[in-house]
Chains A and B, each alone.
Chain A
Amino acid sequence: MCLAVPGKIVGISRDPDDEVTGMIGTVDFQGSRLDVSLAMTPEVTVGNWVLVHAGFALTVLDEQAARETWQYIESADLGQMPKELRDLSAGAAEQD
């Protein structure tokens, strides 16, 4: 449950009427894309890498660290995260 996955922000949308929870990032996880809440990381910009847990970005990550972490997650057997993200991303794409 503590597992968090790095991804790169490729787009940001903001709801002008919702300052607290209205900032959403489209995050790319090695090809799978998911909308992630940026409620906890309002300082981010497009191009930043973020650590994502339960659909929320927790912190900005340095790109090098992010790539290394992703490599490890993919090679490791730490639960379903990459597959889950791919499934979620495919599901989201279907709905679009």
Chain B
Amino acid sequence: MEICGTHTVSLLRSGVKSLLGDVLRLISGPGCPVCVTSQGYIDAACELAARQEVTICTYGDMVRVPGSHGSLEQLKARGADVMVIYCPRDAVHYAAARSDRKVVFLAIGFETTAPATAAAIIEAERMGLENFHVLTAHKLVIPAVSALLSGGDVAIDGLLCPGHVSTVIGADAYRPVVDKWKMPCVIAGFEPLNMLVGIAELVEQAVTGRADVANVYGVAVSPAGNRVAQGLLSRVFAPAPAVWRAIGTIDDSGLELRPQYARFDARAELDVQIGPDHEPPGCMCGQVIQGKVAPSACSLFATACTPVKPVGPCMVSSEGTCAAWYKYGSSITKAQVGPQ
């Protein structure tokens, strides 16, 4: 299983997945942060966007995900102030420049992205901003993987681990997964050759009955990871239960603001609730992100749900499994599709 959405796209786009054909089945896991974000969160973001005084700052992927009553993009077309940003500091600087606006940054992403949010909050605190808030839905990879493996529903022989998350958390972070489930964990970057080297290492381990952490992305990943980034994270955030789309709540798999940063929490400061998660009728994103079914198993795939008019986030996000299959999937063999 590859956990990371960037790996999913790279494997398909590069043709590695089709080359592996009937030999090796690659299953996409819950590695697309937008795809695993609960519907309740999207609805809360939309509720905030509809408020006159609020400016939503978000990464681009989020704007097209349909909530219960439309997407942020649709709200923007009707006059909502939704700004796509590249860096969370952009949201901080905008808040500083526009004291008349209540700025809410949609903080989604795994450990690659969460430290940036932490740094932005520290900067906002230093600037004494009162109009900058975050709506947090950051997720943690290791707890998610652990939950998936302890569920016992997905039979996999190895984990292809995300390169840039690992730049932050370090290769050693996967040791508990290896030890507890005897699961080979190999960290790879996203270039085709590097992914193939990683997959070869996984196969080698699986075939010889070994289970170990191996890092083939040594140029960017060290055993300990980026300690400074980890420090920023633990200063601002604490692990907390998080709701994963269609999976439910996983303990310690998300990040919540620590009490000393509570004033940056959009939920308390702007009085918005994150409601219950629910799937649109017929949508199988929840099963897709757990690797239980392939996108083609969903009756909506490529019919009612396409990149132009998506029903669920897996089709919207540039790293969503369904979007990747739609774009590159003509080369996918039956063996890759698996049981339906």
Interface string of A54-94 (1 = CB under 8 A from B): 11101101100100110010001111100010001000000
- Complex Cα distance, B164 from A86, in Å, reads 22
Is A56 touching B228 in the complex (CB atoms < 8 A)? Answer: no
Given A1-B34, A2-B162, the answer on whether A77 and B13 have CB atoms closer than 8 Å is yes
B117's nearest neighbour on chain A, judged by CB, is A54
Q: How far is the CB of B129 from chain A (nearest CB, A)?
A: 13
Is B168 touching A58 in the complex (CB atoms < 8 A)? Answer: yes
Q: Which residues 157-196 of B sit at the A interface, judged by CB distance below 8 A?
A: 162-165, 167-168, 189-192
Q: Is B261 an interface residue (CB 8 A)?
A: no
Interface string of B80-96 (1 = CB under 8 A from A): 00000011111000000
Is B86 touching A2 in the complex (CB atoms < 8 A)? Answer: no
- Complex Cα distance, B126 from A21, in Å, reads 9
Contact with B229, one of A4, A40, A78, A80 (Cβ below 8 angstroms): A40
Q: Which of A54, A65, A69, A79 has the most CB of B within 10 A?
A: A54
Q: How far is the CB of A63 from chain B (nearest CB, A)?
A: 10
Is B86 touching A3 in the complex (CB atoms < 8 A)? Answer: no
Is A53 touching B232 in the complex (CB atoms < 8 A)? Answer: no
Residues of A within 8 A of B317 (CB): 1
Residues of B within 8 A of A18 (CB): 123, 126
Given A42-B228, A76-B13, A76-B14, the answer on whether A56 and B191 have CB atoms closer than 8 Å is no
Q: Is A39 an interface residue (CB 8 A)?
A: yes
Q: How far is the CB of A57 from chain B (nearest CB, A)?
A: 10
Is B6 touching A56 in the complex (CB atoms < 8 A)? Answer: no
Q: Is A13 an interface residue (CB 8 A)?
A: no
Q: Is A41 an interface residue (CB 8 A)?
A: yes
- Complex Cα distance, B162 from A51, in Å, reads 15
Residues of A within 8 A of B191 (CB): 68-69, 72
Q: How many residues of A contact B (CB 8 A)?
A: 32
Number of A-B contacts (CB under 8 A): 123
Is B86 touching A88 in the complex (CB atoms < 8 A)? Answer: yes
Q: Which residues 122-140 of B sit at the A interface, judged by CB distance below 8 A?
A: 122-123, 126
Q: How far is the CB of B230 from chain A (nearest CB, A)?
A: 9
Given A1-B59, A58-B229, the answer on whether A78 and B190 have CB atoms closer than 8 Å is yes
Is A59 touching B167 in the complex (CB atoms < 8 A)? Answer: yes
Is A1 touching B112 in the complex (CB atoms < 8 A)? Answer: yes
- Complex Cα distance, B109 from A68, in Å, reads 26
Q: Is B32 an interface residue (CB 8 A)?
A: yes
Contact with B10, one of A37, A56, A65, A78 (Cβ below 8 angstroms): A78
Is A58 touching B219 in the complex (CB atoms < 8 A)? Answer: no
- Complex Cα distance, B165 from A59, in Å, reads 12
Interface string of A12-29 (1 = CB under 8 A from B): 000000101100000000
- Complex Cα distance, B31 from A58, in Å, reads 19
Q: Is B20 an interface residue (CB 8 A)?
A: no
Residues of A within 8 A of B (CB): 1-4, 18, 20-21, 37, 39-42, 51, 53-56, 58-59, 61-62, 65, 68-69, 72, 76-80, 84, 88
What are 9 contact pairs spanning A and B, CB under 8 A?
A1-B110, A1-B317, A2-B4, A2-B110, A40-B228, A42-B228, A58-B164, A72-B191, A79-B9
Residues of B within 8 A of A (CB): 4-7, 9-10, 13-14, 31-34, 59-61, 86-90, 109-110, 112-113, 115-116, 119, 122-123, 126, 162-165, 167-168, 189-192, 219-220, 222, 226, 228-229, 232, 317-319
